[in-house]
A and B are shown apart, each in its own frame.
Chain A
Amino acid sequence: MKLMLHVAPGIVRQPLIASVILETKALVNIERASIDAVSGEIVLEVPLDKSKEVMAAFERCGVKVVLLEIPVIRDENECVHCGACVSICPTGTFRFEDWRVVADSGKCIQCGACIVACPQRALNLVTR
């Protein structure tokens, strides 16, 4: 499952991920990380059986952790099933099934490429 970490500027220089890995021995995969002057956002893929432990460990370090259950939502009334989101997604979240676009939200890493690519503005990232 995917976790979104919100890292405050004060602790961004600490080796947060490394210490959580050492503590929990969870095989985490960093899928996306963007850090600027005001905040840091990191998306991690975490094995299901370790997820509670990993979340707790990050929270102890002062990181705000959000479970990305449905990272991207689609307005079914707006979607026309064109496919503009299909080939631009780096993780293959969208595909055609009998010419309807179906989403496998579990693959989404919230990069946001599809949000601007959707001509109907039917896609939105879920941030909390």
Chain B
Amino acid sequence: MQEKSLSEINERIRDGSARVVTAEEMPNIVDELGPAGAVREVDVVTTGTFGAMCSSGVFLNLGHSDPPIKISRALLNRVEAYGGIAAVDLFLGATQPSEDRGNEYGGAHVMEDLISGKQIEVNVFGVGTDCYPQMELETSLRLEDFNQAMMVNPRNAYQRYNAAINSSDRSMHTYMGTLLPRFGNIHYSGAGVLSPLSNDPNFDYIGVGTRIFLAGAQGYVMGSGTQHNPQNHFGTLMVTGDLKKMSNRFLRAATFHKYGPSLYLGIGIPIPILNEKLARSTAVRDRDITVPVMDYGVARRDRPSLKIVSYEDLKSGMVEINGKEVTTSSLSSFHMAREVAQTLKEQVEKGEFLLSMAVEPLSRMGSSRPMKQTKESPNVGDVMSRDVVSVGEDIDIREAASLIVSGLVDHLPVVSRDGRLAGIITAWDISKAVASGKSSRIGDIMTRRVYCVKSDEPIELAARTFDTHSISAMPVVDRDNKVIGMITSNHLSRLFARRR
């Protein structure tokens, strides 16, 4: 069994003789030389990933003002930072939207502005104590004006990530980008062959204290990240690094349409080839790393998986789903992931980046359980009305109008002969048809594209549909699209009134 020590490798890095390759080059080397030969030949394999890492933020220390202030609320370029930590420490989160520009500017943009040398406007509000009498102040600061600006990211560098597709008949704007209706496209994220954790899935090297490339600076792994779930190959890292040393090449603020701000970060980890096990794990290829394609058209936590695909499939640009070729594209940048791995390779070759022994291994077991929800929220089926009057397409508007009046309803679902939902008719539709005098048949004037819900869906989903589409009632359907009830905004407001 070929082995070498980390100090041997660091010695070679210092004298400039270390042999460094990227994780993209390693699989062919191991194929050619075998794991033992690769251990002899290669000292370090550099990895890299560049993508949206929403769970990121930075601790900022402002220094004390005169008179001093104990900050309870802070705005940095109108983006709120958390002030509940001592007097002048703040935590600025990447996804916090601004108060004035909404989603187009957020915490991530403040970070990018700071490392680009821009000045930011700071408004802080105090609580007023004997020791901190100041209540409010305004100032303008640049990155160098902060005592410390330490990035601390709770969850970065996912080992791999679920691909996303949308089965619904409407475009969705998600943190996985724009998902076109009826399986129109697939979006994926992650660097595959270059992914740091996919190159060391058993954490034989990466652990607490491992030195990493974090957006151009040398940072460290603090430990496993939130939702770390390595038993299912969804390991994550919590990382830290000095914002003052980062580069705006590798830290980019982003906005996902109708989702909000996020942060694109470049992270790389050099992995020393200490033994054959590490040679084998860094020989991983895109085809070895698989992910499920999840249906984001289902707005629930447990989204159905439609297919298991590899990063090789995803990167090919086309994946077959239910017999249909679906175009794939990425949200993370493989081009920039390569640049991270390549930059890191050059830094190690030049002796500028030494590898570090972990203080503790990362946990091999993690937890990514669903939220325990102690207050049960009703489902649509609990509040809907079941005595629903539905009509066929062939009745005329006079009949429909009298049903609306006698039933004291505003909406009539229209069903086909076998009871399946075909459309909806409102009192307004009838007024419009009477006014124009064009047709008196319901089938001609009804709305065919009907928003509907299922009875086992939470009322929050119904409320969001009402809100986003400015409607006030929806049919409730079963699995076969048969109408079993109606839910209206009145049901929801009654529920809300009773809760108080």
Which A residues contact B (CB, under 8 angstroms)?
A: 80-88, 96, 98-101, 113, 116-117, 119-121
Contact = CB atoms under 8 A, between A and B. Distances in A.
A88 B180 contact: yes
Nearest to A92: B327
Nearest to A113: B178
Contacts of B104: 121
A116 B185 contact: no
A95 to B, nearest CB: 8
Interface in B19-60: 50-52
Contact of A82 (B185, B257, B330): B330
Given A84-B178, A87-B187, A119 B334 contact: no
Contact of A88 (B177, B254, B255): B177
A86 B335 contact: no
A116 B178 contact: yes
Given A88-B329, A119-B177, 20 more contacts: A81-B333, A82-B264, A82-B331, A82-B333, A84-B177, A84-B329, A84-B330, A85-B329, A87-B184, A87-B329, A88-B180, A96-B329, A99-B338, A101-B335, A117-B257, A119-B262, A119-B264, A119-B331, A120-B254, A121-B104
B262 A83 contact: no
Interface string B452-496: 000000000000000000000000000000000000000000000
Q: Is the interface of A mostly helix, strand, loop or mixed?
A: loop
Contact of A116 (B257, B262, B338): B257
Nearest to A115: B257
Given A87-B187, A119-B264, A120-B252, A80 B177 contact: no
Contacts of A116: 173, 178, 257
A119 B180 contact: no
Interface string B82-125: 00000000000000000000001000000000000000000000
Interface of B: 50-52, 104, 173, 177-178, 180, 184-187, 252, 254-257, 262, 264, 317, 327-336, 338
Task: Give the most central of A84, A86, A117, A121: most B CB within 10 Å.
Answer: A84
Contact of B187 (A80, A81, A84, A121): A84
Please give me the 10 A-B residue pairs with the lowest Cβ-Cβ distance, nearest first. A86-B329, A119-B254, A87-B185, A81-B335, A87-B329, A83-B329, A87-B327, A83-B330, A116-B257, A99-B335
Contact of A119 (B184, B255, B327, B338): B255
Contacts of A81: 333-336
Contacts of B336: 80-81
Nearest to B175: A119
Contacts of A120: 252, 254, 264
A3 B252 CA distance: 35
Nearest to A117: B178
Q: Is the interface of B mostly helix, strand, loop or mixed?
A: strand
B295 to A, nearest CB: 16
24 contacts: A80-B336, A81-B333, A81-B335, A82-B264, A82-B331, A83-B333, A84-B187, A84-B329, A84-B330, A84-B331, A86-B330, A87-B180, A87-B328, A88-B177, A88-B178, A88-B185, A96-B329, A98-B335, A99-B335, A101-B335, A119-B256, A119-B331, A121-B104, A121-B255
A83 B178 contact: no
A101 B255 CA distance: 19
Contacts of B187: 84, 87
A84 B164 CA distance: 12
A80 B264 contact: yes
Nearest to B179: A88
A93 to B, nearest CB: 12
Nearest to B253: A120
B257 A83 contact: no
Task: Give the most central of A83, A96, A100, A120: most B CB within 10 Å.
Answer: A83
Contacts of A82: 51, 264, 330-333
B107 to A, nearest CB: 15
B489 to A, nearest CB: 29
Nearest to B258: A116
A99 B192 CA distance: 13
Nearest to B254: A119
A84 B327 CA distance: 12
A99 B342 CA distance: 15
A115 to B, nearest CB: 9
Contact of A80 (B256, B328, B329, B333): B333
Contacts of B327: 86-87
Contacts of B254: 119-120
Contacts of A100: 335
A84 to B, nearest CB: 5
Contacts of B173: 116
Nearest to A95: B317
Nearest to A119: B254
B296 to A, nearest CB: 14
Given A80-B50, A83-B333, A119-B331, A96 B317 contact: yes
Contacts of B186: 87
Contacts of A121: 104, 255
Task: Give the most central of A80, A113, A117: most B CB within 10 Å.
Answer: A80
B139 to A, nearest CB: 28
Contacts of A117: 177-178, 257
A90 B51 CA distance: 24
Nearest to B317: A96
B220 to A, nearest CB: 25
A120 B108 CA distance: 12
A75 to B, nearest CB: 12
Given A81-B336, A88-B178, A99-B338, A119 B52 contact: yes
Nearest to B180: A88
